[in-house]
Amino acid sequence: MAPPLEDHRMEDEAEEEEQRPLLTRALHRSATNNTSQVAMVGSNPCPIESLDYEIIENDLFDQNWRTRSKVDQVRYVVLKWTFCFAIGVLTGIVGFVINLAVENVSGFKHDAVSALMESTSYWTAFWLFAGSNLVFLLFASSITAFVSPAAGGSGIPEVKAYLNGVDAPNIFSMRTLAVKIAGNIAAVSSSLHVGKAGPMVHTGACIAAIFGQGGSRKYSLTCRWLRYFKNDRDRRDLVTIGAGAGVAAAFRAPVGGVLFALESLSSWWRSALIWRSFFTTAVVAVVLRLFIELCGTGRCGMFGKGGLIMYDVSTIFDDLMTYHLKDIPIVILVGVTGALLGGLYNFLMMKVLRVYNMINERGGAYKLMLAATVSILTSCCVFGLPWLAPCRPCPTNGSPADGICHALNRFRRFQCPPGHYNDLASLFLNINDDAIRNLYSTGTSDVYHPGSMITFFVASYGLGVLSYGVVAPSGLFVPIILTGATYGRLVAMLLGSHSGLDHGLVAILGSASFLGGTIRMTVSVCVIILELTNNLLLLPLVMLVVLISKTVADSFNSSIYDLILQLKGLPHLDGHAEPYMRQLTVGDVVAGPLRSFNGVEKVGNIVHILRTTGHHAFPVVDEPPFSPAPVLYGLVLRAHLLVLLKKREFLAAPERYPKEYVAAGRFLAEDFDKRGSGKQDTIADVQLSSEEMEMYVDLHPLTNTSPYTVVETMSLAKALVLFREVGLRHLLVVPKACDRSPVAGILTRHDFMPEHILGLHPVLLGSRWKRLRWQKGAVAKYFRSLLMWINNSG
């Protein structure tokens, strides 16, 4: 299907294009890849770039520290473990601080409102409530919008994209970290229906990435040892570990954290990494335990023993946690409900996000206006709906619910007389963690009125969909857990005596099914629920419910994170090939024009090509007199070329560097280390005189002599497997026959994207090889072009 390649050495072609530099080689392909290099990161469009997990092997430097001297190896290993420990400690501290702040700020607010309600100052209570919520959310939104847009949203899609090999500036900067923490505290305290788990994942990843930046040259906070981490592979490992630590801190689930990172976030994994990640999450668990013990005597204000999410249902009511074979139908019912509601949730969320994005694109003021609207709506719901609920007398029969009703923080009187409680207010006017704890409590079947549960379910579902898109650090997990628990209880209430299961237990299953139906995680959901509830016996039920909800929901749409990834235009590369990729060869999709360099190249040509193209790597071809026939020498990176140009180690004639040149340390390996995220040289930084432009450089010492290659007749599906499994950024395509240039093109991540492939071969669109995915891709493409248009015009 590929059009025949034109021979780049054809004389007449060279004559036609006079302006083209003599030594440059350009292979014209029929197609060019015009995939967008811009994606939504956080709440703003940003340029994105691929990461390079390949080990660059060239004469000059070797990124693999394990092959260095014994001392280097030991330093590297010690440093890696130290980083793991430090990431664990810091993530644990941050997790604690966020919880402490939320519990205190939010608790103070709720108590003040409750006190005002008790003195029947209802309007004052509302104005205080709505006003403080608005202030908190506007604070969160403004710092996100104006200080660090990359901190918006949950951050999990960005982390997932990074671990898949897509980098964007600022997603892991110091500023993003600070805004994420402060903004999340404010957003959660503002009673907005968002969680803190997603932002914790981003925070953990951020902390890890800052360690991996190798210090800061700007603030002279660097050291030679940190060099070991100045490459994408080690940074990827650290970010994986950090993300797992974030989950562990959010749920106090060390095993669940590792599995979450493994199952949902990471695209590459090694056995050693599991262990490091597990070590880090255990450190997190220990740190959190330490702080909770410190706070045990009430020294932390409102932050009590249950400050972190943890619903220990095993020890108190163990006899209520029983189930039998006859309970299977209710489990299936909960699972299917979760799938239907989850699929719909994802669908609605996408619609809402699309509208929100269009509003947010218009500028900072619009962002704040949207946030204010959502905040006021939320305040009205949260404060208004409990009025619908009837007052219920506190049970006095000594049942478990009895104690809970009289407990200070868990149940709310709202407008009710003393000795009564308002069940809706107990759910609405509490922080989400306490609301979940209320719903999970066993032996409380008679505490909630079905009408209240329906109201709360509708409000929680609706607010969940409406709140996430607000420009502020906001998580998805906790609202989903809460909504799921609500309909779990509803199902249990509807079945009434037909089910022998405790309502609290069904609430847990409801949460699991809704997580399965929206986020589509499986193992990690089970293990997180297991660790949250500290009850191994629940496992089979939770598994069954998640299995059902995920399987059913998968027939509607993708997981919420994948949908957000697509909406954001982040080019996530799946591990499995799409069926139509088997019908194509590599030659069918490789895009042009290809620019390559000679082994010894004129400086002017390099500068020209770097200026006129955006490519990040160029094949190096040795031609006579350096080799008898044109032969592929390797691949040279743009970043390395820029370093070379800045060094100005030029040669007057086209010849190779003398051996002493390299040996004498004129090039330091350090100079070629990958710099931190978003810190790159550009060709605009290079200013050369016209004399220098006429000189030559020897590219051989810089060239990666072992690039991975595929023959152009290789099936695209198998090339994708290679690209993805080995973690490449550039894959060289070599021609099958020898009668042409030794290299036919370069494949990058974008060449494997469905939009590009199906754009080149629209005939596949109607074929049976196509999957549902393409429609989604089209939407994403549309959105992306919209984004570009807005960008360019505003």
* Separation of alpha carbons 428 and 99, rounded Å: 19
Q: Is 328 in the site for its own copies (CB under 8 A)?
A: no
Q: Which is nearer to its own copies, 88 or 475 (CB)?
A: 88
**Is the distance from CB of 374 to CB of 466 less than 8 angstroms?**
yes
- Of 32, 64, 612, 785, the one binding its own copies (CB under 8 A) is 64
Contacts of 420 (CB under 8 A, 6+ apart): 391, 392, 393, 394, 413
Q: Which is nearer to its own copies, 381 or 527 (CB)?
A: 527
User: Whole-number minimum distance, CB 565 to its own copies, in Å?
Assistant: 15
Number of residues forming the site for its own copies (CB under 8 A)? 72
- Which residues inside 285-304 make contact with its own copies, applying CB under 8 A? 285-286, 289
- Of 130, 632, 702, 757, the one binding its own copies (CB under 8 A) is 632
Q: Is 321 in the site for its own copies (CB under 8 A)?
A: no
Q: Which is nearer to its own copies, 369 or 722 (CB)?
A: 722
Tokens of residue 2, six digits: 């590929």
- Which residues inside 755-794 make contact with its own copies, applying CB under 8 A? 768-769
Q: Is 270 in the site for its own copies (CB under 8 A)?
A: yes
Q: Is 269 in the site for its own copies (CB under 8 A)?
A: yes
User: Whole-number minimum distance, CB 282 to its own copies, in Å?
Assistant: 5
Stretch that binds its own copies, among 236-244, 270-278, 460-468, 479-487 (CB under 8 A): 270-278
Question: In 10 A of CB 417, how many CB atoms?
Answer: 8
**DSSP β-ladder status, 44-47 and 617-622:** unpaired
User: Whole-number minimum distance, CB 777 to its own copies, in Å?
Assistant: 18
Contacts of 289 (CB under 8 A, 6+ apart): none
Angle between helices 70-118 and 174-189 (to 10 degrees): 20
Q: Which is nearer to its own copies, 216 or 534 (CB)?
A: 534
Distances 588 to 3, 592, 716, 747, 777 between C-alpha atoms, Å: 8, 11, 8, 11, 20
- Reference 586, options 724, 736, 741; nearest CA is 736
Q: Which residues of 70-83 are buried (b: 16+ CB within 10 A; e: fewer)?
A: eeeeebbeebbeeb
Stretch that binds its own copies, among 60-68, 388-396, 605-613, 643-651 (CB under 8 A): 60-68
* Separation of alpha carbons 53 and 305, rounded Å: 43
Q: Which is nearer to its own copies, 359 or 523 (CB)?
A: 523
Amino acid, single-letter form, for residue 21 = P
Amino acid, single-letter form, for residue 605 = N
Q: Is 330 in the site for its own copies (CB under 8 A)?
A: no
Tokens of residue 274, six digits: 């599991």
Query: What is the DSSP code string of 164-181?
Result: HTEE-TTTT-HHHHHHHH
Q: Which is nearer to its own copies, 72 or 692 (CB)?
A: 72
* Separation of alpha carbons 561 and 201, rounded Å: 13
- Which residues inside 676-735 make contact with its own copies, applying CB under 8 A? 705-706, 708-711, 713-715, 717-718, 721-722, 725-726, 734
* Separation of alpha carbons 564 and 571, rounded Å: 11
User: Whole-number minimum distance, CB 701 to its own copies, in Å?
Assistant: 16
Q: Is 736 in the site for its own copies (CB under 8 A)?
A: yes
Q: Is 82 in the site for its own copies (CB under 8 A)?
A: no
- Of 89, 134, 174, 262, the one binding its own copies (CB under 8 A) is 262
- Reference 778, options 755, 761, 752, 753; nearest CA is 755
- Which residues inside 475-494 make contact with its own copies, applying CB under 8 A? none
Q: Which is nearer to its own copies, 539 or 763 (CB)?
A: 539
Q: Is 523 in the site for its own copies (CB under 8 A)?
A: yes
* Separation of alpha carbons 292 and 300, rounded Å: 9
Bond prior to 593 in cis (omega within 30° of 0)? yes
Cα angle value 65/700/607 (rounded, 5°)? 110
- Of 20, 28, 31, 57, the one binding its own copies (CB under 8 A) is 57
User: Whole-number minimum distance, CB 709 to its own copies, in Å?
Assistant: 6
Q: Which is nearer to its own copies, 235 or 520 (CB)?
A: 520
Contacts of 789 (CB under 8 A, 6+ apart): none
Q: Is 255 in the site for its own copies (CB under 8 A)?
A: yes
Q: Is 62 in the site for its own copies (CB under 8 A)?
A: yes
Q: Which is nearer to its own copies, 445 or 715 (CB)?
A: 715
170: left (phi over 0), alpha (psi -120 to 50) or beta: left
User: Whole-number minimum distance, CB 632 to its own copies, in Å?
Assistant: 7
Q: Is 279 in the site for its own copies (CB under 8 A)?
A: yes
- Reference 96, options 293, 313, 297; nearest CA is 293
Distances 260 to 275, 279, 511 between C-alpha atoms, Å: 14, 15, 17
> First and final CA of the chain: distance in angstroms?
41
What is the per-residue binding string for its own copies in 575-614, x denoting contact by CB under 8 A?
xx--x--x--x-----------------------------
Q: Is 547 in the site for its own copies (CB under 8 A)?
A: yes
Q: Which is nearer to its own copies, 93 or 711 (CB)?
A: 711
User: Whole-number minimum distance, CB 527 to its own copies, in Å?
Assistant: 6
Stretch that binds its own copies, among 210-218, 256-264, 452-460, 501-509 (CB under 8 A): 256-264
* Separation of alpha carbons 619 and 24, rounded Å: 11
User: Whole-number minimum distance, CB 249 to its own copies, in Å?
Assistant: 15
Question: In 10 A of CB 703, how many CB atoms?
Answer: 26
Amino acid, single-letter form, for residue 255 = V
- Alpha carbon of residue 39 to chain centroid: 13
Q: Which is nearer to its own copies, 485 or 541 (CB)?
A: 541
Cα angle value 535/541/547 (rounded, 5°)? 125
Q: Is 526 in the site for its own copies (CB under 8 A)?
A: yes
- Of 11, 15, 18, 66, the one binding its own copies (CB under 8 A) is 66
Q: Which is nearer to its own copies, 70 or 218 (CB)?
A: 70
- Of 131, 363, 500, 540, the one binding its own copies (CB under 8 A) is 540
User: Whole-number minimum distance, CB 263 to its own copies, in Å?
Assistant: 6
Amino acid, single-letter form, for residue 222 = T
- Of 536, 668, 669, 772, the one binding its own copies (CB under 8 A) is 536
